[in-house]
A and B are shown apart, each in its own frame.
Chain A
Amino acid sequence: MKVKVLSRNPDDYVRETKLDIQRVPRNYDPSLHPFEVPREYTRALNATKLERVFAKPFLTSLDGHRDGVNCMAKHPKSLSTMLSGSCDGELKVWNLTKRECVRTLQAHEGFVRGVVVRFCGTSFFTVGDDKTIKQWKMETPSYGEEEEPLNTILGKSVFTSIDHHQKEGVFVTCGQQVDIWDEQRSNPIRSFSWGVDSFNCVRFNPVETELLASCASDRSIVLYDMREATPLKKVIMNMRSNTLCWNPMEAYNFTCSNEDYNLYTFDMRYLDKPVTVHMDHVSAVLDVDYSPTGKEFVSASFDKTIRIFPKDSGHSREVYHTKRMQHVISIKWSSDSKYILSASDEMNIRLWKANAAEKLGLLTPREKAAVNYSQKLKEKFQHHPQIRRISRHRHLPKSIYSQSKELRVMNEARRRKERNVRKHSKPGSMPVVTEKEKHVVTVVK
């Protein structure tokens, strides 16, 4: 007879002293772990619920401005520094970690229209309603020293926006025309205008650094190459675009925020129709900024909300609002991709988390692993109706909720009417126009 009976030595399975950690022998045999999928599903459901429980995106509000905040700028070298210009010509420099204003200066008379920090981070430029461009030092002037600009350029007309080149001492302003300036000269080195009376936004491409795009008040978006004497091409849309932002990872793509409540992502090579139409706002979209990863962007709207869109999705994944936040004028996504800054009419700048349920601060390895695991589970079961319902649920202010409902009804009615017209007209006389094609009038080269 040969016999062997299971006989475990408890010493192999129990910790030796209380100072040790417990021993956990594993056996991954699937038959020892029944109900794998239902258990994972339950975990995913719990993770989704907890995500909604922990979704507290609002971090702080920076107050101190005495008029509505009109523009903001990120510091290219320091994560904690941020600049904001208000409608009374005041400019403030903020320390975000301390959540306080470190410097205030009266930059312009009238609005500060635009502010941009030079790529090296040592100085910044402002433009204002007093037809001047001013360059300021980033350092606070020492005691007794007067707050004075390094350089002042007097222009002929009001400037509405400014942006700086990524590598060279060149910046661009817009107003009645788009001007490209050398930092050393007091006259523009190049001026572009294309039968347009005024521009409201101009941006350098962060990857192909010689390219520019601007939004004009005649509903067009004009593209330029700094090295050429004439603009490249322009696309005219149904309504005016307020601002635009280049995708920092995909050199060809940019997104513009439009007055018709939508945002449009264009490929600059094929302007005849946008790549994606992003809908969800219920009022004009005023500003847009990309996350440094280029995967998502955030938009600020006149409807008092901020929305975060994945770059290739037609609808937003997140909406932020508070009772006290008024029309949001300017928006920035921080360079570490974790925070969002919004500047609004009621003189406040608000700091939000980019991922509403994210835990801030250092995570232990176990916490990190748990977060990753639940993220994967949520992804795996995202299409299950229960999980989808919970993860998509957002509370909206009543006004916005009813407006979006109204908009939906209006759109549906329009669509129905079009369908009926098509049904009762000669086949082929009413071509189907897709949503993407609808908003573009023409492309001019």
Chain B
Amino acid sequence: MGHLTGLNRFSAAGDGLPTAAARHRATRSRRGFGNIRLTIICALITILVLRGTVGVNRIFPDAAATTAEAELHRLVQEANLLTAKIRSDDDGSDDPPDEKSESNSTYILGPKISGWDGARKTWLHRNPNFPSHVNGEARVLLVTGSPPTPCDNSIGDHYLLKSVKNKIDYYWIHGIQIVYNLAHLDAKLTGYWAKLLLIRRLMLAHPEVEWIWWIDSDAMFTDMAFEIPFQKYNHHNLVLHGYPDLLFDQKSWIALNTGSFLLRNCQWSLDLLDAWAPMGLRGRVRDEAGKILMKNLEGRPAFEADDQSALIYLLITRKDEWMDKIFVENSYYLHGYWVGLVDKYEEMAGKYHPGLGDERWPFGTHFVGCKPCNSYGDYPAEKCLRSMERAFNFADNQVLEFYGFGHRGLLSPKVKSIKNETATPLSTVEKLRRPK
């Protein structure tokens, strides 16, 4: 109240009594002060909010920031911008499928080829230096791949790299050729369907190859010594991991796994691919097919048609046409679902040895659902990363051991020497690679 008293004193300088004008002025001043108070408070709050969002501190940069820090910051910014540009460039969202054509035609992978067995036989006869079997063993081509764009996050690319290294190790030890695909060959057959066209192309271009072995990018070899028993499949053309009772009794959508399978290079396989492909046509066809699959297969969620469900549906509905040439393998882990396997590696290493390929020492560990190339998968990211690192190191140990090294734990990228160096190498008969 002091200010009012002061004002009154001021205005009452003349006769001691406040005049009307003076009173009016006092009221105005009071109101003015009230408004000023309001204004100051609003201004303070605005500054606080601005500082929080825009960062007023950026206008007054810390004078102590070093040039190196600023340079680093600039470089990181540049890299981030570039990363975003690379990821958004050609992000695989190819030209949308032609609505008119898809409604009428069933998709075909290419012109119908008949007589492939005869053509291939003739070619092999004319090219005896490129036989389909070398030293009695079938020529195998391992095929895998990933999208042409960087992953949604950099850790995804790192695990793709490790996964390829893992496959290179296995194929080197076993003398198998490898093709790594990074191209979308057809905009109509994207995602998991892209493998069908790729496999067909490779078969037709390589008549000397007896078996095409498709393997997903999220699958790793964890038994470096295991040999696929190709002799077992002399009368079959498609080998994949699964359970026959789940397939025909329960009609389960996970009765088979198409993450790792063997397909013989023959007419039967070309026909199967042609029968398999139609549900994969991107757009309405794939969506509608997804609904059919959901209705007919046990446990399948609602989403667009995938190659695995489509194959299962094909085999269930046309069992007599295809099943006699298909081997549903479950005596070893041609595909090994990662959950339940990765925690047992130490126990396996303690009790068993490589070469078994089954639950004691799984041939393949397949990280279904992890999707490290995406932003997130169906499992907690940390659990997936930890498990993939363990699987990679578990497999890597089997290679490094030959050189006298091993990882310092299944979660360690570092290695240590486990054997003393010798001045007399080759004195033991160990061999890493099989002769070819």
Question: A and B: real partners?
Answer: no
Binding site for A on B (CB under 8 A): none
